[in-house]
Amino acid sequence: MNSSSITPHVLRFIGLVAVQSLLLNQMTGSIGAYFNVLLYPLFILFLPLQMAAPYLILLGFAVGVAVDAFVPSWGIHAGAGTFSAFARGLALMPFAPKGGFSTKDSIFAPATMGWQTFLQGTALFMAMHLLWYFSFSYFSHLFALEIVKKTAAAWGLTMIFVALYVAMFNPKK
């Protein structure tokens, strides 16, 4: 990976952490506990499809820790980011072309996969991330119903913001 191919990922890391911490988390505080939008997992989703799993997991941890540092909620976003990075391959597997992702499909985006496949894959990826995040956040089976309700609400809202983000920036690499 050369420096020109790293730059979009670095910019996405900084931009998504800033938007998550300075805008979306503040909106949860002012609008209500059910208004949760987690956009930073897009950084993990848009990492190269051929990236080795250990690097992917460490980058998932890094983006989660960066968001945790602002909340602060040490370990909760980091744990969810780590899980999403590990499970990304599993979530996107049903949407891979026959024979698997080729090297030219550098990232999982509408530009390479088409809108329908992208939204289906992202929906599953985000659902897994949100479920893990709220399970860690509540940390008790006593809140199982609350975890499911918040995951469902956050999933719907997050997918709207994901569509807006991708329509605005249309990432290609």
Partner 1 sequence: MGKLLELLLRNGGFVTFLVVEVICFAMMVNFNTRQGEIWANTTGIFGGRALEKRQMASDYFNLYERADSLAHLVDSLQLRLSNARQVQVPIRDTFFLVSYDSLSRTDSILRKTVRPQFQSVTAKVIKNSVSGANNWLIINRGSSDGVKTDMAVLSPVGIVGIVRHVSPHFSLVMSVLHQQAKISAALPQQKNAFGSLTWDGGDPTVMTLRYIPQHFVVKENEPVVTSGYSLMFPAGHPVGKVYGSPKTDAENPYFLEIKVKLHQDMTTVRDVSVVQNLFKAETDSLQLKIKANEQ
Chain residues binding partner 1 by CB under 8 A are 52-54, 56-58, 61, 64, 68, 72-76, 78-79, 82-83, 85-86, 136, 139-140
Q: Which two tokens stand for residue 121?
A: 């894959």
Between 50 and 116, name the residue whose CB sits nearer to partner 1: 50
> Given the complex with partner 1, which of 30 and 140 has the nearer CB atom?
140
Q: Which is nearer to partner 1, 12 or 77 (CB)?
A: 77
Angular region, 72: left φ>0, alpha ψ -120 to 50, beta rest? beta
Helix or strand (DSSP H, E) at 118: helix 115-138
Total Cβ atoms within 10 A of residue 18: 13
In total, the chain counts a number of residues equal to: 173
Task: Name the residue nearer to partner 1 (CB basis): 89 or 114.
Answer: 89
Query: How far is it, in rounded angstroms, from Cα 21 to Cα 15?
Result: 10
Torsion of CA 97, 12, 42, 56, to 10 degrees: 70
